[in-house]
Structure 1
Amino acid sequence: MSTSGPGVDTHEMVLIHRLIRREFGQLPRLLRSAAGDRARSKVIGAHAREMVSFLHTHHSGEDELLFPLLRERAALDPELMDRMDAQHEQVDNAVTGISAELPGWTASADAAAGERMAALIEAMMPTLIDHLAEEEHKLLPIVSVTVTQSEWDALGKHGMSAIPLTRRLVMLGHITEEADDAERQTFLQVVPAPARLAYKLIGHRQFTRETATIRR
């Protein structure tokens, strides 16, 4: 347990939630756009796999590192936490179904498999959107005065550990895509200086090029 007192800036999670809403909101169209096109299904499949992994890691970090701390330290509404758990389970069930279809679809571009994945995402989106909004409005204010900086940093390291080194600059682009100047500056302050420079010189162009190909 950290010896420093509680108190953290949780706004970086808002940026991560924006990424999740945006990318999963676009995925059904992208999956359908690759029907019968194996070159495109390889591109969209890699993107979908990355986003599914990102969402799974985000939720597993909360389940393992954040929610237990909140239950231990804060006077939480039991119904709220039960709802958070149920929403995680619903989303994870959809993610499991998508993950089962993705490898075969990526290789085959089978239209029926793509439609099944698109339908799974569309069915889970209302739950996911409600979950992220409630987390931001009801949980993050509690987190900000309950969790220590080292504990918050551990949650961030958990998320980062699942992203391959070769993909971290691109994910930085995804996280900051909808950030305003102040949000971007604040977020980048916690990024090591060499990575900030690499993103400026290489990463942003790579992100822009990739997303243009994916979203066409």
Structure 2
Amino acid sequence: MNRPFDSLPGGHQTMLLAHRAMVRDLGRIALTAEQLSTAPDDARAGALKEYVDKLFQLIEHHHEGEDEFLWPRLRDLGANNEALTLMTNEHEELSKVLHTWHEVSKRLGTDAGAAAELAARTAEVRDHLATHAGDEERELLERLAPALNAKLWKGFTVHMRKTAPGWTLRFMPAWLSSVAGPDERTGVPAAPVARLFRGWLEKTQRAAFGENY
């Protein structure tokens, strides 16, 4: 079942953009780490390590919000149990590879073999995340759809904003905007903030990704 982007609740739109941005960034991290494995660059390695930490926090917060707020409330509303079990199981599996990936990234700049390992680990995380995002997007439109409503999406949005690390308040709008098409701007929260920090985000990403930006 497919629905036009602009027909979805705002929280659902934002989720789709977040998935897209996560997968895109993982691809750029993998390419950059592979290049660093053969052509070390201390400045690039330091910037990449910082960006990996940011992305790790974003993905963790995204999944924690679903595990702590969205899935439990859907269970209370009688949503499809098989679909919810699939979501929680995939989160558990993804969490394992995600934490290993993050730990490897911390060795950039101090361990000659870290860049090559990070490239491989990033590809693994990207595969897991892309699969999970696809499953989640399908389930939200199919088996979980009967229990979803505007009130629940609004509550989820408020929960995510209240529990987000402070630095994400300027990062997230610009980050989501960077992957939104012309007809998807309604999925970007705080549009003025996105415009204000667009240049800062680009500078941050160019420092981390170089030619892979």
Same fold (TM over 0.5): yes
What is the distance in 2 between the residues matched to 1:215 and 1:99?
17
* Aligned CA distance change for structure 1 residues 147 and 83 (closer, same or farther; 3 Å): closer
Deviation at 1:28, TM superposition (A): 1.4
> What are the superposed Cα offsets for residues 124-167 of structure 1, whole Å, 9 maximum, x if unpaired?
333321211111122245666534545433433443433324x5
* Aligned CA distance change for structure 1 residues 66 and 213 (closer, same or farther; 3 Å): same
Amino acid at match of 2:192: L
User: Unaligned regions of 5+ residues in structure 2, if any?
Assistant: 1-7
Which residue pairs with 2:89 in the alignment? 86
What is the distance in 1 between the residues matched to 2:194 and 2:15?
20
Deviation at 1:205, TM superposition (A): 1.5
Amino acid at match of 2:74: L
Deviation at 1:215, TM superposition (A): 2.5
Which residue pairs with 1:32 in the alignment? 34
Deviation at 1:25, TM superposition (A): 2.1
What is the distance in 1 between the residues matched to 2:144 and 2:152?
11
Deviation at 1:51, TM superposition (A): 0.3
- Maintained 8 Å contact 2:79/2:146: no
User: Unaligned regions of 5+ residues in structure 1, if any?
Assistant: 1-6
- Is 1:61–2:56 an aligned residue pair? no
Superposition TM-score, scaled by structure 1 size: 0.79
Amino acid at match of 1:197: P
* Residues paired across the two proteins, number: 199
Which residue pairs with 2:17 in the alignment? 15
Structure 1 runs (4+) deviating above 6 angstroms are none
Which residue pairs with 2:5 in the alignment? none
Deviation at 1:29, TM superposition (A): 1.5
Indicate the percent of aligned positions where both proteins have the same amino acid: 21
Amino acid at match of 1:17: H
* Aligned CA distance change for structure 1 residues 75 and 62 (closer, same or farther; 3 Å): closer
